[in-house]
Amino acid sequence: MYDVIIIGAGPAGMTAAVFAARKGLKAAIFSKDFGGQVNWTSDIENYMGFTEINGRALMDRFQAQVKEHQLEEKQTEVRSIRRDGEFFTVETVDGEEYLARTVIVAVGKRPRTLNVTGENEFRNKGVSYCSTCDGPLFRNVPVAVVGGGNSALKAVFDLNIYASEIHLISLTELTADAVLIKRLSGISKLKQYLKHSVVEIKGSKLVERIAVERLEDKNRFEIPVQGVFIEIGLDPNTEFLEGLVEKTEKGEIKIDCECKTNIPGLFAAGDATTIPEKQIIIAAGEGAKAAINAWEYLLQRESLKTLVNV
pLDDT in tens, the chain (310 residues): 999 999 999 999 999 999 999 999 999 999 998 998 888 776 788 899 999 898 899 999 999 999 999 999 999 999 999 999 999 999 999 999 999 999 999 999 988 999 999 999 999 999 999 888 899 999 999 999 999 998 899 899 999 999 999 999 999 999 999 999 999 999 999 999 999 999 999 999 999 999 999 999 999 999 999 999 999 988 999 999 999 999 999 999 999 999 999 999 999 999 999 999 889 999 999 999 999 999 999 999 875 555 544 4
The structure's pTM equals: 0.75
Q: Which amino acid is at 287?
A: G
* Residue 145: exposure state from Cβ atoms within 10 A (0-12, 13-18, ≥19): buried
Q: Report the sign of the C-alpha dihedral through residues 76, 78, 79, 83, in that order.
A: positive
Euclidean distance between CA atoms 125 and 144, whole angstroms: 14
Give me the pLDDT at residue 205, please: 97
Q: How high is the pLDDT of residue 310?
A: 44
How confident is the model at residue 42, as a pLDDT?
62
Q: Do domains 2-110+234-300 and 113-230 have the same CATH topology?
A: yes
pLDDT for the residue 309: 46
- CATH for 113-230 is 3.50.50.60
- Adjacent-strand bridge partners of 75: none
In the prediction, which pLDDT does 201 show? 99
Q: What is the C-alpha to C-alpha distance for residues 104 and 278, in angstroms, rounded to an integer? A: 18
CA distance 242 to 249: 12
pLDDT at site 151 = 86
As a three-state string, the secondary structure of the chain is CEEEEEECCCHHHHHHHHHHHHCCCCEEEECCCCCHHHHHCCEECCCCCCCCEEHHHHHHHHHHHHHCCCCEEECCCEEEEEEECCEEEEEECCCCEEEEEEEEECCCEEECCCCCECCCCCECCCEECCHHHHHHHHCCCEEEEECCCHHHHHHHHHHHCCCCEEEEEECCCCCCCHHHHHHHHHCCCEEEEECEEEEEEEECCCEEEEEEEECCCCCEEEEECCEEEECCCEEECCHHHCCCCCECCCCCECCCCCCECCCCCEEECCCCECCCCCCHHHHHHHHHHHHHHHHHHHHHCCCCCCCCCC
303 burial level (CB within 10 Å; 0-12, 13-18, 19+): middle
Q: Determine the Cα–Cα distance for residues 161 and 165; give it in Å rounded to an integer.
A: 10
CATH number of 2-110+234-300: 3.50.50.60
Contact criterion met (CB below 8 Å) for 211 and 202: yes
286: left (phi over 0), alpha (psi -120 to 50) or beta: alpha
Angle between helical axes of 11-22 and 55-67 (0-180°, round to 10) = 20
CA angle (207, 211, 216) in 5-degree steps:
155
- Measured CA to CA, the distance from residue 142 to residue 222 in angstroms comes to 13
Structure confidence at residue 17 (pLDDT)? 98
Q: Which of 267, 274, 256 has its CA nearest to residue 291?
A: 267
Q: Where are the domains of the chain?
A: 2-110+234-300, 113-230
